[in-house]
Structure formats: C-alpha cells, structure tokens
Structure 1
Amino acid sequence: MLIPHGTVIAVVDGKAWELYRNAGTEAAPELAVMETPALVEHNHSSGGSHASPHQQDETAHCAAVADWLNRQVQAHKIAQIVLIAPPRALGELRHALSKATQHAMIKELAKDMVGRQPNDIIAALRGK
C-alpha cells in the first residue's frame, strides 16, 4: 500500500495509542513519531451494561481516541489517516468516528500493533 506523504497513522489498542506521520514518500514511507496527547477518558456506560469493566475501559479509551481524531480532522490538522487496531477496538473506533474522519481514512488494519517498530507497521500495512 502506498502511504501518501503527511498521512497520520494512528495505532490503537484498548488502553494505549501511538501516532506517526509519514515523513517519507508514498513509495518509501518513513514513519516519524508524533507526540501522543493525553486523553480524557470517561466511562459512559450505563449501570445496566453487561460489559466487563475491562471492556468498558476499552470502549471509553477508543471513544476518547476517536474524539481526538475527529477534532483534528475537523480543524484540518489531519487530511489523511490510517487506523490500526485490534478487531474489537477497531469496531469501537468505527462507531465513534465522524463522517469527515471516515472520509479522511485511507486504510484501516485490524491488527494489534501498539509497541511495534515503525518498520513492522509499514510491513503490516503492505501485507508482509
């Protein structure tokens, strides 16, 4: 997969996240680490929820990440985004992404990649 210059890559799991920007070219991407902002996570689940506390925390984390991404896209600070997350977290993120953020997303990958090296992330995006 070609990753356009300037594309933001958000790598998320149920409790952590990392941000990268492609500082290279489309054909030869170089992921530069971006500062990952602290999030305000609120657990909005109702008292009648059947989700475990871990799932509730994961849902709150993904909602906070999606909120931050939505605000960045709305403010035109992110034009294109790649989203990488394990399947459950990816589903939670999809629910919370605005239409504008969904349109800015050029690829999503259902895989747990938090804590991996940038070269591993590029290889995963290329399907290697």
Structure 2
Amino acid sequence: MKLPHNSYVAIVDGENFILMQNKGQPFEPSLELISKPSLDSTNFSAGVRHQDDAGQQSGNTDLNELAHGAAAAERLNEMAIAGDFEHIAIISDPKILGEMRRHYHTELKSRLVGEIDKTLAGEPTDRIEKAISAA
C-alpha cells in the first residue's frame, strides 16, 4: 500500500483505538504513535442485525466490540470533517472493519488511502509497518 508521508493510520479492534502517523516514505512507512484516544461506545446499532441468541451465546457476535468499532469510525469522521488529516489508512479485524464501514462519512471515505483487514492492535510497530508495505 502506498501510504503518503504524514498520513494517519488508525488501528482498531474491539477494545483498542490507536492513531499513528507515517513519518517515512510512501512505500517505506515509519510509524510514530500519535495517541490512544478513549471512546464512549454508545452506538449499539449493530444489535439490530445481530439479535439471534445463538450468535450471542457462542461468542460469534460481541455487541460491545461492534459498538467500539462504530465509536472509532465516528471519531475518525469528526477528525476528517475537521481536516485533522489529509490521508488515512485503517487497520482492523474483519468483523470490526465491516462495522466501521457502515459508519464512514463521505469526508472520511475521500481521505481513505486503504484498509487492511487484520488484527494488528498490540503488535510491534515494525510488524504493522511491514503489513502496510505488503498490502
């Protein structure tokens, strides 16, 4: 993936939200931690689609994790609308990424340079950089 210099990278899972910035070159990212914002997971709209008891009991659907993904998307929307970044890449596990996509604002979509559907929250920075380079 080509990640322009100074692009943001959001790394999201069901519990974590990490913002980093590329201080390297487009094909050789060098990420620097910006922040780990805390989120209020209040949007449980995914519950409408995930109401079967079997999915809840087997652990296939965790509404709290999906609400966290929705909250992360909403925060990124606010930042995109405010012009806090020009470009962004989003890395998240497939289920959370799918929920986030449902909440993307058009302004966020216009700044999105790519998505990686992998769980990389908690991984070392060099592994995240390699995943971006390989995407």
With the length of structure 2 as denominator, give the TM-score of the two structures: 0.85
Match of 1:99 in 2: 106
Match of 1:82 in 2: 89
Q: Is the 8 A contact 2:29 2:133 kept in 1?
A: no
Match of 2:32 in 1: 32
Q: CA RMSD in A?
A: 1.9
Q: Is the 8 A contact 2:28 2:133 kept in 1?
A: no
Cα distance in 1, alignment partners of residues 89 and 43 from structure 2: 26
Displacement after TM superposition at 1:62 (Å): 0.6
- Structure 1's 126 and 28: CA in aligned 2 closer, same or farther, altered over 3 A? closer
Residue type matched to 1:12 in 2? V
Cα distance in 1, alignment partners of residues 27 and 117 from structure 2: 22
Question: How many correspondences in the alignment?
Answer: 127
Match of 1:67 in 2: 74
Which of the pair is proportionally richer in helix? 2
Residue type matched to 2:40 in 1? V
Which contiguous aligned blocks of 4+ residues in structure 1 show a shift greater than 4 angstroms?
none
- Aligned to 1:11, what secondary structure does the other structure show? strand
Cα distance in 2, alignment partners of residues 67 and 43 from structure 1: 9
Which runs of no fewer than 5 residues in structure 1 stay unpaired?
Answer: none
Displacement after TM superposition at 1:43 (Å): 4.9
**Worse overlay, 51-60 or 17-26:** 51-60
Residue type matched to 2:89 in 1? V
Displacement after TM superposition at 1:16 (Å): 1.2
Q: Is the 8 A contact 1:7 1:22 kept in 2?
A: yes
1:9-57 deviation per Cα after TM superposition (whole angstroms, max 9, x unaligned): 01111111211001222243210001121111115346x9336286210
Displacement after TM superposition at 1:118 (Å): 1.5
- Structure 1's 94 and 43: CA in aligned 2 closer, same or farther, altered over 3 A? closer
Residue type matched to 1:49 in 2? Q
Q: Is the 8 A contact 1:43 1:56 kept in 2?
A: no
* Identity of matched residues, %: 28
Q: Is the 8 A contact 2:17 2:37 kept in 1?
A: no
